[in-house]
Chains A and B, each alone.
Chain A
Amino acid sequence: MAAFPATTNRAPLSRPFWHTLPGLLVAGGLIALTLAGLGALIWQARQPDVSELWNSPYLRNVIAFTLRQAVISTAISLALGILVALALLRQSAFPGRKALLRVMELSLVLPTIVAVSGLVACYGREGTVTQWIGHWLSYEWNLYGINGIVLAHVFFNAPLAGRILLQSLESVPAPRRRVASQLGLRGWWHWRAVDWPAIRPVLPGAGALVFTLCFTSFAIIMTLGGGPGATTLEVAIYQALRFEFDFGQAAMLAVVQLIICGLLWAFMARGDFSANLSPQRSFAGAIPRPDCGVIHRITDRLLLLAFSVFLLLPLIAILARGLPSLSEVVFGDGNALQQLLTASLRSFSIALPAGALSVAAALAILGLGTVRIPAVKKLSNLTPAIPLMVPPIVLGTGLFLLLRPGLGDISQGLALVALINGLMALPFTLQLLKEPFNGLDRASLNLADQLGVLGWYRWRWLHWPRMRAPLSLAMAYGTGLSLGDFGVIALFGSPAEPTLPVLLYQQMGSYRVELAAATALWLIASLGLVFIGFNALGRSKAPSGAQQLSLERLAEMRHA
Chain B
Amino acid sequence: MLEVRQLEFRYTGDQPGWRFDFSLARGACIAINGASGSGKSTLLNLLGGFLAADSGTISWDGQRIDSLPPWHRPFTSVFQEHNLFEHLDVQTNIGLGMHPGLRLTKDQKARISDSLASVGLAGYERRLPGDLSGGQRQRVALVRTLLRSQPVLLLDEPLTGLDDQARQGLHQLLLEQKASGSAIVLASHDSQDREVLADSQLNL
Contacts and interface: CB of A to CB of B under 8 A. Distances in A.
Given A6-B150, A443-B79, A453-B96, A462 B85 contact: yes
A466 B99 CA distance: 21
- Listed residue (A5, A8, A454) with the most chain B CB atoms within 10 angstroms of its CB: A5
B72 A456 contact: no
Interface stretch (A20-28, A111-119, A444-452): A444-452
B77 A461 contact: no
B103 interface: yes
A56 interface: no
Contact of B100 (A2, A441, A453): A453
B82 interface: yes
Given A1-B151, A9-B100, A461-B96, A449 B50 contact: yes
Contacts of A4: 60-61, 63, 74, 151
Interface in B38-88: 48-50, 60-61, 63, 69-77, 79, 81-83, 85-88
A1 B70 contact: no
B149 interface: yes
Interface in A1-23: 1-2, 4-6, 8-9, 11-12
A1 B181 CA distance: 8
Contact of B70 (A9, A444, A450): A450
Given A1-B149, A449-B49, A451-B96, A460 B101 contact: yes
B149 A9 contact: no
B87 A465 contact: yes
Contacts of A453: 96, 100-101
Contacts of A466: 87
Nearest to A456: B101
Contacts, number: 94
B62 to A, nearest CB: 11
B101 A457 contact: yes
Interface in A460-498: 460-462, 465-466
Contact of A444 (B60, B69, B85, B102): B85
A545 B154 CA distance: 31
A544 interface: yes
A451 B181 CA distance: 21
Contacts of B71: 8, 449-452, 454
Contact of A9 (B61, B82, B103): B103
Contacts of B100: 8-9, 11, 451-454, 457
* Interface residue range, chain B: 35 or more
Given A450-B70, A450-B76, A450-B77, 5 more contacts: A2-B148, A452-B71, A453-B100, A461-B101, A542-B128
Contacts of A5: 63, 72, 74
Contact of B74 (A6, A451, A546): A6
B138 interface: no
A441 B85 CA distance: 10
Contact of B50 (A1, A446, A451, A460): A446
A448 B74 CA distance: 15
B97 interface: yes
B33 interface: no
Contacts of B148: 2, 451
A1 B182 CA distance: 8
Interface residues of A, number: 31
Given A5-B72, A457-B100, A443 B150 contact: no
B87 A451 contact: no
26 contacts: A2-B74, A2-B150, A4-B61, A4-B63, A4-B74, A4-B151, A5-B63, A6-B150, A9-B103, A441-B82, A443-B79, A443-B83, A446-B48, A447-B85, A450-B77, A451-B96, A451-B100, A453-B96, A454-B71, A454-B100, A457-B100, A457-B102, A460-B101, A461-B85, A461-B88, A542-B89
Contacts of A444: 82, 85-86
A437 to B, nearest CB: 14
B188 interface: no
B184 to A, nearest CB: 14
A427 B86 CA distance: 30
Top 7 A-B residue pairs of the complex, sorted by shortest distance between their CB atoms: A443-B82, A452-B71, A449-B70, A452-B100, A457-B101, A453-B100, A4-B74
Contacts of B81: 443
A375 to B, nearest CB: 20
A417 B72 CA distance: 47
Nearest to B87: A465
Nearest to A450: B70
B91 interface: no
Contacts of A446: 48, 50, 70, 77
Contacts of B151: 1-2, 4
Nearest to B48: A450
B99 A461 contact: no
A546 B87 CA distance: 9
Nearest to A441: B82
Contacts of B99: 9
Interface string B142-177: 000000111100000000000000000000000000
B115 interface: no
A4 B182 CA distance: 13
